[in-house]
Structure 1
Amino acid sequence: MGKIEGVQIKNFGPLKDVVMGKTLNNQKGEALGNITAVIGPSGNGKSTLADAFGFLADCLEIGVEAACDAKNRGGFQQIRSQGIDEPVKFELYYREKNTIRPITYELEIDEDAMGRPYVKEERLRQRVTKRGRPLSFLLLQNGRGYAYEGKEGGADDDGRSVQGEKVDVELADIRKLGIVTLGAMKQYERIEKFLNFLKSWYLCYFSPDAARTLQTAAPQPYLNRTGSNINNVAQYMYRENKRDFTKVLKEIQTKLPNIEKIEPVKFDNGQMMLKFWEKGFKNAFYSPKMSDGTLKLFAYYLLLHESNPRQLVFIEEPENGLYHQYLKLLADEMVRSVGTGYSKQLFVTTHSPFFVNALSPNSVWVLEKGKDGFSNIKRASEYDFVKELSGEGVPLGDMWYSRYFG
């Protein structure tokens, strides 16, 4: 369990310095909710914001150097903001639940004398009391530093140990994140929990063409990033929890009234595929013959009804390929799905006012380009009259479309 209450990104492409929600150095900010939508014109940084989350996930999985080159990023120099010589920096302000003090994760990535990216600094902090500065329970600079075992303890800003068991640490590879190495060890309990939170992220790069590929009959609990295993996830849900699977189908059928039934089918050669029955047709259609929109909507509903959900999900432009009247219904379902607790958090980028109509001003952030070419971000509720008009029943997406803000 857990969610991000705030994030700061510095020197990452057009995101020279953007802050969303509450962070260590922005304690007056209002914490991010369980659903956050980012809007704005094309070219203002929405895809870069999504890629910042993807970049962190890739750093976790394959290391910072490989992450800089992955997904056509073009290397560290192409990632770092133009004209900037400082490191790329990230801060995540994370809370496991409301009874546990928040944790701040800070990461700095720079290049060495050979032009290779490396982890310059990595830090985890948490207060041990209700007041006062948080104590560092992990601090690595150029791969060297310390970590604290157990649930409590840390060092102040001068490195003096306040309580807990301090262990000196030196990493063998400064291009790998320290939390990956130390989080694999049980004695570093807080690092392990934070690492598991990051590992649970799901960055959606759903591709209808990938979803049409044939897969072996291997039930899988989670969609992969492209959705190529959508048949396997449906098979898993059908096998493990038919009631939830039936619920998903009923939800989809209310949005796509021409679909009467969907079920996974296993073939003799071990492959499996989804079978769709449409009204007016005697024979079913297999998933490769279904429209992009039908497959996408089906994938989103599978994602929203996971029995053990990923803690953070990021979806770019869910409106692509979907009929506009479905978008508010999908947004409503997303809001219901994330609820108010700490089990699931959803980030979305969108161009659709129909989708935004289902959201509150506090849940929507607007990216705009400044005169210097870098992006600025602002909550919709901070614009003049938006909160008041929303309180009077004016839909937020309609206000955005009519240029009341953004």
Structure 2
Amino acid sequence: MRIESIRLKNYKSFRNATMADMPDLCVIVGANGTGKSTLFGVFGFLKDCLLHNVSRALQPRGGFKELLSRGADPSEGIEIEIKFRMEIAGIERLVTYGLHLGEERGRPVVLHEVLRYKRGRYGSPFHFLDFRKGAGYAISNEEDFNRPDEDLDREEQKVSPDTLAISGLGQFERFKAANAFRQLIENWHVSDFHINQARGSKDAVGVDEHLSETGDNLQLVARNLYENHRDIFNDLLESMRRRVPGVSSVTPKLTEDGRLLLQFQDGAFKDPFIDRYVSDGTIKMFAYLVLLHDPRPHPLLCVEEPENQLYPKLLGELAEEFREYAHRGGQVLVSTHSPDFLNSLELDEVFWLRKRDGYSEIMRAKDDPQVSAYMAAGDQMGYLWKQGFFTGVDPQ
């Protein structure tokens, strides 16, 4: 399952923008304030809408009027459209999820929610889920492609006007596309790594399979890999040795008081160092490798500015780690300001954001004739960015 495109209308700085033809590894460049965090925040907003409702999701974001683009007519509402590819009945299909939000009598409402894709090679996409203001239907036997459209089983449903229909229906496997989209949003991961939270001993109770957003469970996840996925942990250590000179091993250590910490062994010394005394860059690189060697990759992984605290020469190899993670099944979105990271990327992996008349626009590197020509001639993306070939973006 892979996201093909995202379209935003009247969503904060994105008055009308589309990010199309998204690759497995998608890297976004832009000056401060151009909308990189806003773009990543779309998934967090959808997740909050899914787990709670639109009203609850809007509260920490300042309400409907703060999410609405400046100068936009409130009657137009906010639109989010995501297209993704998934296999249904043995055929890969392009599925569209559309969400149109508005406000009535000061309260948020789902004006329209739709999930659609083509049943056959020809014709218009069929609506398998279609709700307006809390009332609508979902098709319960969508994989029965031998039946004509009019014979499909429609389940009429009612939900609260500020609740996503996919929130409930997506829990049932018989609603194939709705279930897949719900799992995508529920299991997406944004890395907001905090080194101070990753350091130190942690309570050893329980087993954590996935690294948390802040990295505060790094020790528990490392222990899970060490004890239950030793081959993966050994591959991780080999990558660590190549990237951090001197580090020969990392071992999760259980203390006498039932706490868990990480010991880093430097080949030049007999005794290991605990994680409290190793460098920020070493901790961060190890955390990224733990994240990217996850035995069950997140369907969507978002990382903002991974270059912070890392030595520039490490960024090319880190980019390759992100690419390998994406090829294992977890699509990756990364924002960066680093030319060294960009230099390791391919033409179709890079997008940039720019502001025009106060609103954010999304540009694709491979659609720019000049950038494409320079890359074909052997130039590297980071150098082109520094030299000002990304129109509307100036890193100086």
The answer as to 2:199 corresponding to 1:212 is yes
Judged with a 3 Å threshold, the aligned counterparts in structure 2 of structure 1 residues 42 and 104 are, in CA distance, closer, same or farther, namely: same
Which residue, 351, 357, 360 being the options, matches 1:375? Answer: 360
- Give the match's secondary structure for 2:84: strand
**1:44-78 alpha-carbon deviations (Å, 9 max, x no partner):** 111111112222222222322222233xx322222
* Equivalent residues in 2 for 1:5-20, closer than 5 Å: 5-20=4-19
Judged with a 3 Å threshold, the aligned counterparts in structure 2 of structure 1 residues 136 and 262 are, in CA distance, closer, same or farther, namely: same
Judged with a 3 Å threshold, the aligned counterparts in structure 2 of structure 1 residues 61 and 225 are, in CA distance, closer, same or farther, namely: farther
The answer as to 2:191 corresponding to 1:226 is no
Mapped to 2, the partners of 1:150 and 1:109 lie a distance apart of 28
The answer as to 2:88 corresponding to 1:101 is no
Do the aligned residues in 2 keep the contact of 1:101 with 1:127 (CA within 8 Å)? yes
Mapped to 2, the partners of 1:176 and 1:227 lie a distance apart of 31
**1:255-286 alpha-carbon deviations (Å, 9 max, x no partner):** 11121210111223332121112244433222
Kindly state the Cα deviation for residue 186 of structure 1 after the two structures are TM-superposed.
3.7
**1:157-196 alpha-carbon deviations (Å, 9 max, x no partner):** xxx953410111101x333321111112343233222212
Which residue, 39, 42, 49 being the options, matches 1:59? Answer: 49
Moved more, 283-292 or 353-362: 283-292
- State the identity as a percent: 33
- Give the match's secondary structure for 1:187: coil
Q: Aligned partner of 2:136: which letter?
A: G
The answer as to 2:114 corresponding to 1:123 is yes
Do the aligned residues in 2 keep the contact of 1:213 with 1:228 (CA within 8 Å)? no
Do the aligned residues in 1 keep the contact of 2:225 with 2:232 (CA within 8 Å)? yes
* Equivalent residues in 2 for 1:6-405, closer than 5 Å: 6-21=5-20, 31-70=21-60, 73-84=61-72, 85=74, 86-97=76-87, 99-113=91-105, 115-152=106-143, 162-171=150-159, 173-212=160-199, 214-217=201-204, 218-339=206-327, 343-370=329-356, 372-405=357-390
Q: Aligned partner of 1:66: which letter?
A: R
Kindly state the Cα deviation for residue 303 of structure 1 after the two structures are TM-superposed.
1.6
Do the aligned residues in 1 keep the contact of 2:134 with 2:158 (CA within 8 Å)? yes
Kindly state the Cα deviation for residue 16 of structure 1 after the two structures are TM-superposed.
1.1
- Give the match's secondary structure for 2:256: coil
Judged with a 3 Å threshold, the aligned counterparts in structure 2 of structure 1 residues 118 and 210 are, in CA distance, closer, same or farther, namely: farther
- Give the match's secondary structure for 1:348: strand
Judged with a 3 Å threshold, the aligned counterparts in structure 2 of structure 1 residues 50 and 190 are, in CA distance, closer, same or farther, namely: closer
Mapped to 1, the partners of 2:184 and 2:2 lie a distance apart of 8
- Give the match's secondary structure for 1:41: coil
**Structure 2, gaps ≥5 residues long:** 392-396
**1:86-121 alpha-carbon deviations (Å, 9 max, x no partner):** 2221111011149321110001222231x3323222
Do the aligned residues in 1 keep the contact of 2:200 with 2:275 (CA within 8 Å)? no
Judged with a 3 Å threshold, the aligned counterparts in structure 2 of structure 1 residues 119 and 289 are, in CA distance, closer, same or farther, namely: farther
Q: Aligned partner of 2:308: which letter?
A: N
**Structure 1, gaps ≥5 residues long:** 22-30, 155-159
Mapped to 2, the partners of 1:95 and 1:175 lie a distance apart of 27
- Give the match's secondary structure for 2:69: coil
Judged with a 3 Å threshold, the aligned counterparts in structure 2 of structure 1 residues 289 and 163 are, in CA distance, closer, same or farther, namely: farther
Q: Aligned partner of 2:338: which letter?
A: S
Do the aligned residues in 1 keep the contact of 2:297 with 2:325 (CA within 8 Å)? no
Do the aligned residues in 2 keep the contact of 1:135 with 1:153 (CA within 8 Å)? no
- Tell me the TM-score normalized by structure 1: 0.90
Number of positions where the alignment pairs a residue of Structure 1 with one of Structure 2: 384
Superposition misfits of 4+ residues, deviation over 4 angstroms: none
Do the aligned residues in 1 keep the contact of 2:384 with 2:390 (CA within 8 Å)? yes
